[in-house]
A and B are shown apart, each in its own frame.
Chain A
Amino acid sequence: MNRNFSLNNLISATFLVFLTKALFLIVRFLGIGHGSTWPGEIALTLRKDFIRRVLAKNPKLQVVLVVGTNGKTTCTKLISHILEENGLRTFSNKTGANLVNGIASALIENANIFGRYKYDVAVFEVDENMLPILTTQFAPKAILALNLFRDQLDRYGEVDTIRARWEHCFSALLNKTTVILNGQDPNLFFLGKKINKKVRYFGLKDETIADNHILSVEADATYCPICLRPLTFSKIAYSHIGIFKCENCGSNENSCTDLGEEVKSPLQGVFNRYNVSAVSLLLKTVFGLSIKNINRGLKSFEPAFGRQETIDFQGRKILIQLSKNPVGFNQSIGLIGKAKAPKTKVIILLSDATPDGHDVSWIWDVDFEELVQRVEKIWVSGHRAYDMGIRIKYALREISGGKVDDRSIKRKLSVSWDVENILREVLASSQPGDLIYAFPVYSEMLDFRKRLIGDSMEIKNR
């Protein structure tokens, strides 16, 4: 179809909402597929500026965008949940449907047939590459940028590429948008200094960050973007997130508005403390919520799909933590405590399906040398199970000084293409009540979850 043949001028956005919504309801009624991203896709095909039009008709609807390599889904859910607890009505895009068509679909699904909303706030998680496309369509109330790590380099390109794209996008924002950045991610801190906009920084207080000065191998923002000298980190929370400065050109003394002390994270891990700090700052500065009210919302928060979600499986508690890039995976490993005689069991699921990225090289940037010391046994499955098997085998060899026999590798590591096999083995070697960690990539998380509980509502359209 020639897209230039402009239906654009003929079809109003309101009519499109009506049309696609009707289609959506029919499809759902007939049970031929969950609500997915195709209503948005149709609307965007017929009217490229569909999102702009719909939002222009609803000036009272406030839109918050959440971007970042890790934590988007959790923060989107946190913001919505706390706002709801405080009497505001919100809606979001479905987790994972974070491309433009996913956002258009959410706008269709939640509108009434006249293209109007009974909601106050829309909170959307947005794919790294999609942010500039959206901000040319409308002026969000706030943009929250969580962090920027290496992730799916075959799809996103290098961290520097995304940073440059965001810088361009933030610089072009209207003044009514508040930008909230991670002041302890050098990528975002220096970006904030460049854009001359209303910027607020979140972070953790120095004294609440554990005493660590060692940068992990997957850290990317380790030098000053102004003078290209290495940055000095006085504290590293994880990856390249921490307290830093450039000794050479004196850039940075970061001033973060940390709320980490006043609010309590309902989720484990230092990365979630950053998520909570980010969300609190946004709710306080953009929506004027008090700390007390934020805390109240946090208390009743339930984790999102596959993000520290615990599922009961034949009496075992399986904690699923999505682990899709080096930084995220290292944080997952951090959830497991150190023990002298570890009893922890872990399932790892690796795939190279489209939402996971076709390149599995990233697993070599994960600190599996640390993981193998914290666990009793690791089971591996997924499309690229043996790539992961090789990785863990070498981790076992590395920590043993290169000398480890096949039998001890076998005792600690089991690999199979077949997840059922893996689950059978896990059941046979565990007791009811045992906690088992599962670290899957995205596509495997959906399948695995489905296997455990029988259904999966989440969609991914990439």
Chain B
Amino acid sequence: MKNPKITIGWLYPDFMNTYGDRGNILVLKSRCLERGILVEVIDISLGSQASEILRADFLFMGGAQDRQQEIVYKDLHLKKKFLQQAVEREIPGLYICGAYQLLGNYYITAEGVPIKGLEILGLYTENPGKKRLVGNIVVKTEIEELKDQLIIGFENHGGQTFLNKDMRPFGEIVRGHGNNEIDPNEGVYYKNTIGTYLHGPIFSKNPRLADWFIAKALKVKYGEDVQLKPMNDRFEFLARQQFLTQDHA
């Protein structure tokens, strides 16, 4: 593959960026450039052409506060067709927290008001309005290539998500809550799309997940399997070690 290039489509960076989500973009970009892969980041937001979505080789959307989410929900319903196509065409995508919930059929707010989802994935979310699920989280992922490595991060959400029987989770909870308080599922994994409650900079302490997305994006775009050159992830290794060994309340 000559002069490979990845276009990152960042959905609603101006609204959906509450927990350091942009860290994922920084990490992904840098891990591409380091391997000689060119990167272009396009912002897709209010006023963007919906077809921009299909220009992206990787899609990313973070979480937000309710008020911001409301604005985005309205706009994204207009762009739904394109996002659905991207998901079905196996364009890799990472959807965090509010973005993950939005991909489902509906969301019932703490006040009991149903909000229609994009109905792209078979899942739904309810907010029981009692306590938020907050804390450090450790997940054993369903992604074949990453089975030997735990995914770690932080979750903080009021909504509880349930997958339809035919949907596969992103992984199984080792510590923390994940989708809800009932089943051991965390997130959703469909084609190359991942929805998860691991908010903010998930790539920062899971560099292999970032690399998995890069490899998938190249595979879908160029039809070739790539072996990414390893990087110096010593800090990541030490941060992971500390996270996994310390006792968290």
The 8 Å CB contact of A361, one of B154, B232, B236, is B154
Q: Shortest distance in angstroms between A219's beta carbon and chain B's nearest beta carbon?
A: 9
Contact of B70 with A228 in the complex, beta carbons under 8 Å? yes
Contact of B29 with A398 in the complex, beta carbons under 8 Å? yes
Contact of A397 with B199 in the complex, beta carbons under 8 Å? no
Contact of A403 with B70 in the complex, beta carbons under 8 Å? no
- Residues of A near B17 (CB, < 8 A) are 217, 365
Q: Shortest distance in angstroms between A36's beta carbon and chain B's nearest beta carbon?
A: 21
Whether A158 sits at the interface, judged by CB under 8 Å, is yes
Q: Shortest distance in angstroms between A228's beta carbon and chain B's nearest beta carbon?
A: 6
Whether B30 sits at the interface, judged by CB under 8 Å, is yes
Whether B201 sits at the interface, judged by CB under 8 Å, is yes
A389 to B22, CA, bound (A): 17
Q: Which of A235-257 contact B (CB under 8 A)?
A: none
Count of A-B contacts with CB under 8 A?
106
Contact of A365 with B22 in the complex, beta carbons under 8 Å? yes
Contact of B26 with A398 in the complex, beta carbons under 8 Å? yes
7 contacts between A and B (CB under 8 A): A153-B156, A160-B65, A217-B17, A361-B19, A364-B21, A389-B238, A394-B27
Q: Shortest distance in angstroms between A85's beta carbon and chain B's nearest beta carbon?
A: 42
Supposing A153-B156, A154-B156, A359-B154 touch, asked if A364 and B235 sit within 8 A by C-beta, the answer is: no
- Residues of B near A360 (CB, < 8 A) are 154
Name the residue on A nearest B199 (C-beta).
Answer: A361
Contact of A406 with B232 in the complex, beta carbons under 8 Å? yes
Q: Which of A150, A223, A359, A364 has the most CB of B within 10 A?
A: A364
Contact of A364 with B23 in the complex, beta carbons under 8 Å? yes
A228 to B65, CA, bound (A): 13
Supposing A228-B70, A358-B154, A403-B33 touch, asked if A390 and B18 sit within 8 A by C-beta, the answer is: no
Supposing A222-B14, A228-B70, A389-B235 touch, asked if A364 and B20 sit within 8 A by C-beta, the answer is: yes
A397 to B135, CA, bound (A): 29
Q: 9 tightest A-B contacts by CB?
A: A402-B33, A364-B20, A361-B200, A364-B23, A386-B239, A361-B20, A397-B30, A389-B235, A158-B65
Q: Which of A391-413 contact B (CB under 8 A)?
A: 391, 393-395, 397-398, 401-403, 406
Supposing A358-B136, A359-B19 touch, asked if A364 and B26 sit within 8 A by C-beta, the answer is: yes
Whether B166 sits at the interface, judged by CB under 8 Å, is no
Whether B225 sits at the interface, judged by CB under 8 Å, is no
Supposing A153-B156, A363-B20, A386-B242 touch, asked if A358 and B248 sit within 8 A by C-beta, the answer is: yes
- Residues of A near B23 (CB, < 8 A) are 361, 364, 391, 394
Whether A387 sits at the interface, judged by CB under 8 Å, is yes
Whether A159 sits at the interface, judged by CB under 8 Å, is yes
Contact of A386 with B235 in the complex, beta carbons under 8 Å? yes
A365 to B156, CA, bound (A): 17
Contact of B201 with A364 in the complex, beta carbons under 8 Å? yes
Contact of A390 with B34 in the complex, beta carbons under 8 Å? no
Q: Shortest distance in angstroms between A308's beta carbon and chain B's nearest beta carbon?
A: 26
The 8 Å CB contact of A397, one of B34, B67, B204, B239, is B34
Whether A313 sits at the interface, judged by CB under 8 Å, is no
Whether A415 sits at the interface, judged by CB under 8 Å, is yes
Whether A362 sits at the interface, judged by CB under 8 Å, is yes
- Residues of A near B68 (CB, < 8 A) are 223
List chain A positions with a Cβ less than 8 A from chain B: 150, 153-154, 157-160, 217, 220, 222-223, 225, 228, 230, 358-365, 383-384, 386-387, 389-391, 393-395, 397-398, 401-403, 406, 415
Whether B177 sits at the interface, judged by CB under 8 Å, is no
Whether B91 sits at the interface, judged by CB under 8 Å, is no
Contact of B135 with A358 in the complex, beta carbons under 8 Å? yes
Contact of B18 with A158 in the complex, beta carbons under 8 Å? yes
Contact of B238 with A361 in the complex, beta carbons under 8 Å? no
Whether B66 sits at the interface, judged by CB under 8 Å, is yes
A398 to B235, CA, bound (A): 17
A32 to B135, CA, bound (A): 34
Q: Shortest distance in angstroms between B101's beta carbon and chain A's nearest beta carbon?
A: 15
Whether B134 sits at the interface, judged by CB under 8 Å, is yes
A230 to B45, CA, bound (A): 12
- Residues of B near A150 (CB, < 8 A) are 18
B64-103 contact mask (Cβ, 8 Å, vs A): 1 or 0: 0111101100000000000000000000000000000000
- Residues of A near B242 (CB, < 8 A) are 383-384, 386
Contact of A362 with B19 in the complex, beta carbons under 8 Å? yes
- Residues of B near A391 (CB, < 8 A) are 23, 204
B163-207 contact mask (Cβ, 8 Å, vs A): 1 or 0: 000000000000000000000000000000000000111001100
A157 to B156, CA, bound (A): 9
- Residues of A near B156 (CB, < 8 A) are 153-154, 359
Whether B32 sits at the interface, judged by CB under 8 Å, is yes
The 8 Å CB contact of B33, one of A157, A220, A401, is A401
Contact of A364 with B204 in the complex, beta carbons under 8 Å? yes
A159 to B68, CA, bound (A): 11
Q: Which of B43-72 contact A (CB under 8 A)?
A: 65-68, 70-71
**Known pairs A362-B19, A364-B22, A365-B17 / 4 extra A-B pairs, C-beta < 8 Å:** A153-B19, A228-B67, A391-B23, A397-B30
Q: Shortest distance in angstroms between B7's beta carbon and chain A's nearest beta carbon?
A: 16
Name the residue on B nearest A413 (C-beta).
Answer: B235
- Residues of B near A395 (CB, < 8 A) are 26
Q: Which of B22, B27, B34, B71 has the most CB of A within 10 A?
A: B27
Supposing A223-B71, A403-B33 touch, asked if A160 and B20 sit within 8 A by C-beta, the answer is: no
A278 to B66, CA, bound (A): 30
- Residues of A near B34 (CB, < 8 A) are 397, 402-403
- Residues of A near B239 (CB, < 8 A) are 384, 386-387, 389-390
- Residues of B near A415 (CB, < 8 A) are 235
A391 to B235, CA, bound (A): 10
B1-33 contact mask (Cβ, 8 Å, vs A): 1 or 0: 000000000000010011111110011011011
Supposing A364-B204, A387-B204, A389-B239 touch, asked if A394 and B30 sit within 8 A by C-beta, the answer is: yes
Q: Shortest distance in angstroms between B146's beta carbon and chain A's nearest beta carbon?
A: 19
- Residues of B near A225 (CB, < 8 A) are 67
A362 to B23, CA, bound (A): 10
Q: Which of B17, B71, B201, B235 has the most CB of A within 10 A?
A: B235
Contact of A393 with B235 in the complex, beta carbons under 8 Å? yes
- Residues of B near A403 (CB, < 8 A) are 33-34
Supposing A358-B135, A402-B30, A406-B232 touch, asked if A228 and B71 sit within 8 A by C-beta, the answer is: yes
- Residues of A near B232 (CB, < 8 A) are 406
Q: Shortest distance in angstroms between A133's beta carbon and chain B's nearest beta carbon?
A: 19
